[in-house]
Structure 1
Amino acid sequence: MDIKELLRPTIKALKPYSSARDEFQGATDNMVFLDANENPFENGVNRYPDPLQRALKSLWSEIKGVPTKNIMFGNGSDEVLDLIYRAFCEPNQDNVITLPPTYGMYEVLANLNAIGIKKVNLDANFQPKVDEILSVVDENSKLLFICSPNNPSGNSFNAQAIEKLVSEFQGIVVIDEAYIDFSKEESWVSKLDLYPNLIVTQTVSKAYAMAGIRLGICYASTEIISVLNAIKPPYNINELTQKKAIELLSVKDIATNQIQDILSEREKLVKALQSVNYISNIYPTDANFVLVKVDDANKRYNQLIEKGIVIRNRTTQPGCVNTLRLTVGTPTENKILIDTLKSI
């Protein structure tokens, strides 16, 4: 597959903007910087941040075991997804394929970029209908979005199904792994060398407890990464985000320990939910949340709100009638949730 042939013509012809910090990449010690029209008075944030986030990227590369050349950071995963649209999808011409129920931003970004959407709903077990997906593909189908573990259902997709889709779809396959750290399934990042059309996205918002700093991660071939770096805003990851991420990622084992605590609490929560009489189904989950089917989702959602508990009502999503999505909280929060569910 020739990735260049999938790019929009304007992107192939684009001459990237070169910032001051792109042009000078030498050692910074004892240098006088008069190139970027910055305020010279030091306060910790008066200088532009590293446009390629080299220190943070090196640390993340060490944590994940992925070469820095295969990594790009975004201002949250949503920026990464938007850049992928801009690189590969021609407005008012191309289309993408989504698999509802799924993350809503795929559709929002398609609409923002004037891109068509082909939806193939997941089956009753929230697994992709591979043959049906491949049957709707046409010459203008540029992106296929796979969310695994899936949001809002929580389950991981069958690996053989994903493999067939990545192998046979003649466009870019984006596997969204926002919840992969809570799953026993292997990340598809390990398959980047096998599939040139594969992009994997992750985030520090969930397992790494950094939703507030907005940092998303993109893994892909060096060819795709170079294109995305060329079209991203020059300073898309600010200095405070880079510093805070390095600070928290440098604390040994904190994420690992918190993930284990969440998984332990998830197991307890699932067990406790089994004794709530109006919950008829607890769906399998590989994420830090649990999807449950209740008798009346709108009623139960409003009752919980009245008790001061905010969850997510997913009843409007395909295949999710009368379902509620419950995030795994602290032991105290989970006890309050269970006690309240039993009392209403």
Structure 2
Amino acid sequence: MFNLNNIIRPNVLKMKAYSSARDEYKGDASIFLDANENSLGSLAGENYHRYPDPHQKQLKRKIAEIKGINPAQIFLGNGSDEAIDLLFRMVCRPGQDKMLHLPPTYGMYEVSANLNEVTMEAVQLTPKFQIPVAEVLASITPETKLIFVCSPNNPTGSLIEIESIETLLRSFEGLVVVDEAYADFSESPSWTARLAEFPNLVVLQTFSKAWGMAGLRLGLAFASEEIISVLDKIKPPYNINEATQQLALQALEHTEALRDMVEEIKQERELLLHALPALAQVEKVYPSDANFILIKVKDADGLYNYLLSKRIVVRNRSTVPGCAGCIRITVGTLEENQQLLQAISEYKTQD
């Protein structure tokens, strides 16, 4: 049976969180002389001379309302990369513990493992980009503390089978992290609806993709209140700046516009999925539940460089395990997609 205290690093269990000036005083006041801020104001605009809410209470309440979840089950980070890094710091002892990931997948899991001196176990996805569950379970050791599952997966666009993730959650006594960065472009329900069922589940989401706020760097982690309380304890005190909090609150007032934008992206994705197979350079187009498409082409390096010469930037994934000869294409605007298709159709493989 999963017990969080059994996997948290002993030093994290013992440590006390940093107590900021805004933590120590929670009432109403008209004069703040406690945090060594500039009392004359800010050249950047109103209220920016004050430190932001370290717990993002207003923003979490709004997110909780939209997601149908308890605010105490939400962690906000400087991009979901911060949550990934803090999960390593929370449960993995440097030089001792392990993580397991499923390439081809998002590269930051590996970067954070290396940064935190955590051994990586890699179990490659099947040719259909699904989890070989038996192989994963056989790879788990007592030192394995984290399993990362990206669904829809980056760079493949594939949605990971629900039954496979369920098996991992029921069989593994560490944390299963389901990264849903691209979930808004999928018809599959979010794993946030099943947090009560699986105490070892952590769900990652982001404002960088569907919400169109990549420049603000705002990521989310959803989990049990117990897990979130530990993440809050070990995060930097003011990790989400005031501008990001306020702009995110403004965006959250426009959920209907979000749905319209997501629908437009999905329509453009379908047009690309239909048009790409007809191009001579394209050998295979993989199905996608994300806002990008992975394609296998005859000459990945040549086509990539040709597109660069046309000032079109895509992602060459041909060196990633399981993605030989593949290029990843983000779904653009109608005009951008038409220019891309035209450029691919004009490219001739160099002899």
Q: TM-score range by the shorter chain?
A: over 0.9
Residue identity opposite 1:125 in structure 2 = K
Residue 25 of structure 1 aligns with which residue?
A: 26
Structure 2: distance between partners of 1:170 and 1:54: 31
Residue 211 of structure 1 aligns with which residue?
A: 214
Structure 2: distance between partners of 1:37 and 1:109: 34
Residue 70 of structure 1 aligns with which residue?
A: 73
- How far the C-alpha of 1:280 sits from its partner, in A, is 1.1
Whether the 8 Å CA contact 2:169–2:198 is kept in 1: the answer is yes
Residue identity opposite 1:38 in structure 2 = E
Whether the 8 Å CA contact 2:3–2:173 is kept in 1: the answer is no
Question: What SS is found at the alignment partner of 1:173?
Answer: strand
Structure 1: distance between partners of 2:193 and 2:27: 32
Question: What SS is found at the alignment partner of 2:22?
Answer: helix
Residue 287 of structure 2 aligns with which residue?
A: 284
235-244 or 30-39, larger mean C-alpha shift: 30-39
Aligned residues: 342
- How far the C-alpha of 1:91 sits from its partner, in A, is 0.2
2:105 equivalent to 1:102: yes
- How far the C-alpha of 1:255 sits from its partner, in A, is 1.0
Structure 2: distance between partners of 1:123 and 1:140: 25
Residue 253 of structure 1 aligns with which residue?
A: 256
Residue 240 of structure 2 aligns with which residue?
A: 237
Of residues 304, 308, 320, the one that matches 1:305 is 308
Structure 1: distance between partners of 2:295 and 2:143: 37
Could you say what the CA RMSD is over the residues aligned between the two structures, in angstroms?
A: 0.8
Question: What SS is found at the alignment partner of 1:326?
Answer: strand
Of residues 115, 120, 124, the one that matches 2:127 is 124
- How far the C-alpha of 1:334 sits from its partner, in A, is 0.6
- How far the C-alpha of 1:252 sits from its partner, in A, is 4.4
Residue 84 of structure 1 aligns with which residue?
A: 87
Residue 35 of structure 1 aligns with which residue?
A: 34
Of residues 143, 150, 174, the one that matches 2:146 is 143
Q: What is the TM-score with the length of structure 1 in the denominator?
A: 0.98
Runs of 4+ in structure 1 displaced over 2 angstroms?
none
Question: What SS is found at the alignment partner of 1:178?
Answer: coil
- How far the C-alpha of 1:5 sits from its partner, in A, is 1.0
Structure 1: distance between partners of 2:40 and 2:71: 32
Residue identity opposite 2:4 in structure 1 = I
Residue identity opposite 2:87 in structure 1 = I
Q: What is the TM-score with the length of structure 2 in the denominator?
A: 0.96
Of residues 322, 331, 334, the one that matches 1:331 is 334
Structure 2: distance between partners of 1:230 and 1:302: 46
Residue identity opposite 1:330 in structure 2 = T
Whether the 8 Å CA contact 2:281–2:345 is kept in 1: the answer is no
- How far the C-alpha of 1:293 sits from its partner, in A, is 0.4
Residue 4 of structure 2 aligns with which residue?
A: 3
**What's the CA shift string for 1:227-265, capped at 9, x where partnerless?**
000000000000111111111222341211100000010
2:318 equivalent to 1:319: no
Whether the 8 Å CA contact 2:199–2:224 is kept in 1: the answer is yes
Residue identity opposite 2:11 in structure 1 = T
244-253 or 52-61, larger mean C-alpha shift: 244-253
Structure 2: distance between partners of 1:19 and 1:109: 27
- How far the C-alpha of 1:147 sits from its partner, in A, is 0.3
229-238 or 61-70, larger mean C-alpha shift: 61-70
Residue 157 of structure 2 aligns with which residue?
A: 154
Structure 2: distance between partners of 1:251 and 1:124: 39
Residue 179 of structure 2 aligns with which residue?
A: 176
Structure 1: 5+ residue runs without aligned partners? none
Question: What SS is found at the alignment partner of 2:238?
Answer: coil
**What's the CA shift string for 1:288-326, capped at 9, x where partnerless?**
000000011101101111111000000011110000000
Whether the 8 Å CA contact 2:282–2:296 is kept in 1: the answer is yes
